[in-house]
Chains A and B, each alone.
Chain A
């Protein structure tokens, strides 16, 4: 019983830490380190996004995507012409005939989507 009382007293003595005079300055230092870590993390994510974009773009270039797009466009035009011979011309076939433009629009939308996702990810972290 006496032992327990002394242990409780000791715990109270340990808990009674006097306020250190530089407690405010210490807190400011911790906040600065938190802010620095946050800034570094944002830069890291941004840099990773840029690197990923550059790698993606270079892969597209290396895979002769533009030649393939042109080929796809030619194929679409040929298909359109053939169909026109068979049936009456429709507006949507005209849209397909400009296959290159469709791919560019899709690529643009993908870039916008990636930017949106990246912004959300940064916001979540």
Chain B
């Protein structure tokens, strides 16, 4: 993208960029990708995807979002909308490759060494202590913003099972994440 064009789009809000993208302006959509790709790829990695696979799925998710951009009404955030698309695409891929069943089976959770309660443990480290199904369910609900029922439908699991995974996952995370210190810095411009 040329310099002046990039700076023109960089000054716009997500909603304005979405409106431009809906008219077929691919460079405006590129700016949205530039802003939110890390968040989308991050969710996929936290769901358990390897870096390369997360990138593949994230690309597909952004392309799907561009095709359906006119469906985005701005009711939530653009990043949240793409995260949901990406999470569903990833689950579809797991299902297609027959890997989903193994991930959602009840498995004993890895009892990772518990960190010092006073030390700040990052989310990545804490998620490693969760079983696959718990990590998937917690990330889908708190990272990708799906409701319990949406997650249950996407995972093809009973709602009660998903709720149990989320509950157990939250309990484990609560014991591993150190108490919050200080204010959380405000997010970047945009609404991701």
With beta carbons under 8 angstroms apart, the residue of A13, A18, A19, A30 that contacts B30 is A30
B182 is an interface residue with CB less than 8 A from chain A: no
Top 3 closest pairs, chain A to chain B, by CB: A17-B42, A27-B34, A14-B143
Tell me the complex Cα distance, A12–B185, Å: 10
Contact, CB under 8 Å: A14 / B142: yes
With beta carbons under 8 angstroms apart, the residue of B41, B139, B143 that contacts A20 is B41
Contact, CB under 8 Å: A16 / B34: no
B33 is an interface residue with CB less than 8 A from chain A: yes
Chain A, 80-117, CB within 8 A of any chain B CB: none
Which secondary structure dominates where chain A touches chain B? helix
Tell me the complex Cα distance, A14–B144, Å: 9
Tell me the complex Cα distance, A20–B26, Å: 22
Number of B interface residues, CB 8 Å? 35
Contact, CB under 8 Å: B38 / A17: yes
Q: Name the segment of B55-63, B107-115, B148-156 touching the other chain.
A: B55-63
Chain A residues whose C-beta falls within 8 Å of the C-beta of B84 in the assembled complex: none
Tell me the complex Cα distance, A10–B37, Å: 20
Contact, CB under 8 Å: A27 / B46: no
A26 is an interface residue with CB less than 8 A from chain B: yes
Give me 13 other A-B pairs in contact (C-beta within 8 A), A10-B173, A17-B43, A26-B37 excluded.
A7-B170, A11-B142, A14-B123, A14-B139, A17-B39, A17-B42, A23-B37, A27-B33, A27-B37, A31-B1, A31-B30, A33-B63, A37-B63
Chain B, 161-192, CB within 8 A of any chain A CB: 170, 173-174, 177, 180, 184-185, 187, 192
Contact, CB under 8 Å: A30 / B38: no
Contact, CB under 8 Å: B30 / A20: no
B contact residues vs A (CB 8 Å cutoff): 1, 26-27, 29-31, 33-34, 37-39, 41-43, 46, 55, 58-59, 62-63, 66, 123, 138-139, 142-143, 170, 173-174, 177, 180, 184-185, 187, 192
Chain A residues whose C-beta falls within 8 Å of the C-beta of B192 in the assembled complex: 15
Chain A residues whose C-beta falls within 8 Å of the C-beta of B62 in the assembled complex: 30
Tell me the complex Cα distance, A12–B37, Å: 17
A29 is an interface residue with CB less than 8 A from chain B: yes
Contact, CB under 8 Å: B59 / A31: no
Tell me the complex Cα distance, A3–B192, Å: 24
Contact, CB under 8 Å: B174 / A14: no
Closest to B61 in A: A30
Using known A-B contacts A13-B123, A15-B39, A18-B38, determine if residue A33 contacts B26 with beta carbons closer than 8 Å. Answer: no
Q: 25 A-B pairs, CB-CB below 8 angstroms?
A: A3-B170, A6-B174, A9-B177, A10-B142, A10-B173, A13-B123, A13-B177, A14-B46, A15-B39, A15-B192, A17-B43, A20-B38, A26-B37, A26-B58, A26-B59, A27-B33, A27-B34, A27-B37, A30-B33, A30-B37, A30-B59, A31-B1, A31-B26, A31-B33, A34-B66
